[in-house]
Structure 1
Amino acid sequence: MRELVDEFLYYLVVERGLAENTLASYNSDLQQFLHYLENGGVKSLREVNHGLLVAYLMKMQQEGRSPATISQHLAALKSFYHFLLRERLVESDPTANLESPRQLKKLPQVLTVDEVERLLNQPRPDTPAGLRDKAMLELLYATGLRVSELVALNVDQVNLEGEFVRCLGKGSRERVVPMGQVACFHVRTYLENGRGKLIKKTAEPALFVNQHGRRLSRQGCWKILKGYARAANLKKEITPHTLRHSFATHLLENGADLRSVQELLGHADIGTTQIYTHLTRKKIREVYDRTHPRA
């Protein structure tokens, strides 16, 4: 059986020209499978049937392997048996009717309204950097912008009178997003009292700049956010997208329709936005269980 695996790997190199890392992955997956067969007393690949493969995949699931890992193993097995069938080394393909396990989307981490308040109250407004950070966090939560969109904003893309920002999202699609009175107040305060001291005399167009007067990077924004999350003693894992996820979830919890949230987030496909409905349904269920007399 191991010689057949070697022949298969040679075929992948010569006829399909696969990369070394891909070959190593195939080899690792197939060696694990052969080890399983040998421990079960199976001495020939011809003995492998549909039921044995299902048992192998179920064993991987019981061991806590992720759906992605199991799918990867199954892909290696399918490719291997396709090769064996083509070379007439087996009479049938036991992987033919096997499907990969569903890979469920991981629900995003979301802050409660109180946790958002704690986070947004961390920056100190008595320094230029503090004014910048306060405006930055308020704007993130008020608009649901991606961090990449936030740091790409220029001053002339912010309309304080109309209380909206123009940003370029994925695929260079421009959208207009309302920013609300609170965020507008803090952005104006930063522009009037903080930004000038940070950019000094440079002609930087960026709205948010670092201590050197240059455009703030995504990494810089994330570092600032993580620091304030620690200061607020938030136990949840905070990522650059956390405020975006919280923005969408809080809108839906308070009655916003899915299409409007899709537009605000700049999602091309409403299916991407629908992940937030799982979070709001969970919230509704918790409220129901807590308040209904016969829940």
Structure 2
Amino acid sequence: MKVHLRKKKLKTGKLSLYIEFYKGTQTLNTGKIKHLRDYEYLQLYLIENPKSTAEKMKNQEQLELAKQILAIRKAEVYQGRYNIQNDKKGKLGLLDFYEQKKEERYQSKGNYDNWDAAQKHIEAYCPTHITLNDVDVKFIKGFKKHLDTVAVTKSQKKLSQNTKHTYFNKFKACLNAAFEEGYLKENYIKKVKGFSMGESKREYLTADELQKLASTTCTLPLLKRAFLFSALTGIRWSDVNKMKWSEVRDEGMDSENTPIFRIVFQQKKTDGVEYLYISKQARDFLGERRGKDDKVFKGLRYSAHMNMQLLRWCMHAGINKHITFHSARHTNAVLLLENGADIYTVSKRLGHREIRTTAIYAKIIDKKMKEAANLIPKLDLKMD
């Protein structure tokens, strides 16, 4: 689109300044060519034949103001305003643009991984010749349908509700950026409703169940120590598995003669550094200190055998739940909230970036709800 400053002579003899937005041509059914133009009248006027110095200065002021507005309008057109994108920008391939946006997130490991995972499904749906000019509501709805009915995981299973939600949101973020940067003439993604977030079941152990488990023998003592440590601290399997003794800090006593223990580690999932205080009992599960580069839980490995032993351990303890190692982390969050920890503290201990992630655990807790049912005094009345 071309943008020009124009003048129109009025009956009064003055010249009205306006901006012309030339949008190109359209071929009508009759075969005639129609020129597409829009106009913006600036309410600025010039005297056609100025005579005095004052008139000349007034003309100069009006013209300079009109040129400033013209510069702003040209910038807005370049950024994608007026429902017309820069022609050269629109010819950029969608897959190329997505790749650019993904690489901008390289420093954010978790987010980058999600963008990378979503890209595989976008590439499966989108032909390589598709440009940003080709994107419209129908194309976006087609990708949503692809995620819902065609896309599968590596194990050939349908995508979960939350996975579809995540992948479509990355696609949405890409198209939002395309519009904001002037590659799309219209923000089509706003016209397509995304996937709602599903609530996944978070299996956890009650305090009584955790006690039963602690009192029951496990055929893999190393697994037992690691699981109970995770339940007492909330640390993920990936961080428990890689933990080295250099991350374990025995920091002496506080003013009340209570021993202080901390774990200082970098979360594998988020790359964030955590400074986590742990209880003496949790520290006891780690055993005697060894070399700083030695693994704390040396020999611990993720395997189908280990998962089976974990389930058998639970069964021997009389726990009929599908418990995984990650259930220890869920257990920690629920027990903290049930025993009076505020949600902000729990969020920080778990290393969550957003409080809403921690808020999911609040829905699990029913202990306080049960107590609340009996808070109202019993009524002394007679039924008719």
| TM-score bucket of the superposed structures, by smaller chain | 0.5 to 0.7
Describe how 1:182-193 pairs up with structure 2 within 5 A.
182-188=281-287, 191=288
Does the 8 Å CA contact 1:107/1:275 hold for their aligned counterparts?
no
Q: Deviations over 1:237-295 (max 9, x none)?
A: 11221111111111111111111111110111112111111123x33223323564569
Residue 205 (structure 1) aligns with? 294
Q: Deviations over 1:56-100 (max 9, x none)?
A: xxxxxxxxxx967998xxxxxxxxxxxxxxxxxxxxxxxx97745
**TM-score (normalizing by structure 2):** 0.44
* In 2: Cα distance, 1:145 partner to 1:113 partner: 18
Q: Deviations over 1:163-216 (max 9, x none)?
A: 22122113321112122121222323xx37xxx8xxxxx997111122xxxxx2
CA spacing shift, 1:222–1:176, aligned 2, 3 Å: farther
Residue 212 (structure 2) aligns with? 118
> Which has the greater radius of gyration?
2
Residue 159 of structure 1 pairs with residue 249 of structure 2: yes
Residue 371 (structure 2) aligns with? 287
**Greater RCO between the two (CA within 8 Å, min separation 6)?**
1
Unaligned runs of 5+ in 2: 1-124, 132-141, 151-159, 166-189, 253-259, 380-384
Describe how 1:85-124 pairs up with structure 2 within 5 A.
99=193, 102-123=196-217
Identity percentage over the alignment?
23
CA spacing shift, 1:26–1:102, aligned 2, 3 Å: closer
Q: Alignment partner for residue 240 of structure 2, among 126, 131, 150?
A: 150
Describe how 1:213-228 pairs up with structure 2 within 5 A.
216-219=300-303, 222-228=307-313
Residue 244 of structure 1 pairs with residue 244 of structure 2: no
Q: Alignment partner for residue 181 of structure 1, among 233, 258, 280?
A: 280
Q: Alignment partner for residue 273 of structure 1, among 344, 354, 358?
A: 358
SS of the residue corresponding to residue 324 of structure 2 reads coil
Does the 8 Å CA contact 2:263/2:277 hold for their aligned counterparts?
yes
Moved more, 261-270 or 175-184: 175-184
* In 2: Cα distance, 1:260 partner to 1:173 partner: 16
**TM-score (normalizing by structure 1):** 0.56
Moved more, 240-249 or 102-111: 102-111
From the two aligned structures, give the one with the greater helix fraction: 1
CA drift at 1:114:
0.5
CA spacing shift, 1:243–1:147, aligned 2, 3 Å: same
Describe how 1:18-37 pairs up with structure 2 within 5 A.
26=146
Does the 8 Å CA contact 2:352/2:358 hold for their aligned counterparts?
yes
Amino acid at match of 2:266: L
Count of matched residue positions in the alignment of Structure 1 and Structure 2: 205
CA spacing shift, 1:268–1:103, aligned 2, 3 Å: closer
Unaligned runs of 5+ in 1: 1-10, 31-65, 72-95, 197-201, 211-215
Does the 8 Å CA contact 2:162/2:198 hold for their aligned counterparts?
no
Amino acid at match of 1:208: F
* In 2: Cα distance, 1:254 partner to 1:242 partner: 18
SS of the residue corresponding to residue 172 of structure 1 reads coil
* In 1: Cα distance, 2:147 partner to 2:328 partner: 42
CA spacing shift, 1:145–1:29, aligned 2, 3 Å: closer
Q: CA RMSD in A?
A: 4.1
Residue 121 (structure 2) aligns with? none
* In 2: Cα distance, 1:69 partner to 1:203 partner: 39
Residue 230 (structure 1) aligns with? 315
